[in-house]
Amino acid sequence: MASRFAGVPVTIWQANAFGRYVHVNDPNPASLDPHFVGCVGIRSDDDGIYRIKTVKPGAYPAGPDWMRPPHIHFEVHGRFERLITQMYFPHEPLNTSDRLLNAALRPDLLVATCLSDPLGRRVLHFDIVLSRG
């Protein structure tokens, strides 16, 4: 039997490894990667789990005195609510000075946790919880 979280739509977008978004309004002069799409829409599986395989986004300038750390954006549509959030990478030096991360009530909940992988890949775990579903 599928859970009540099955098939939840999740939109994911991020900068490429050079820190540039595939968007006409991104002023960053960093290189574009012709093989990188930058945005995808998926659905959670029967247990409400989602998985993606991607490159680690690069840091990028968000203003004259602000560098954004690597992060990935998520938009989740539940039955009763919508959430837009960001996942940060653990142990990133720029996390400590990121204005958005540090403005969160619980910044620790926005930093993914590392999981062990027998093949030596970097695997991160990031729970997204909608309080009302």
Catalytic residues: 21, 60, 68, 71, 73
β-strands 113-115, 60-63: how paired? unpaired
CA atoms within 13 A on the CB side of 50: 20
DSSP state of 18: T
- How much helix, strand and coil, in percent to the nearest 5, is found in the chain? 10, 30, 60
What are the phi and psi torsion angles at 40 (to 5°)?
A: -150, 150
β-strands 82-88, 113-115: how paired? unpaired
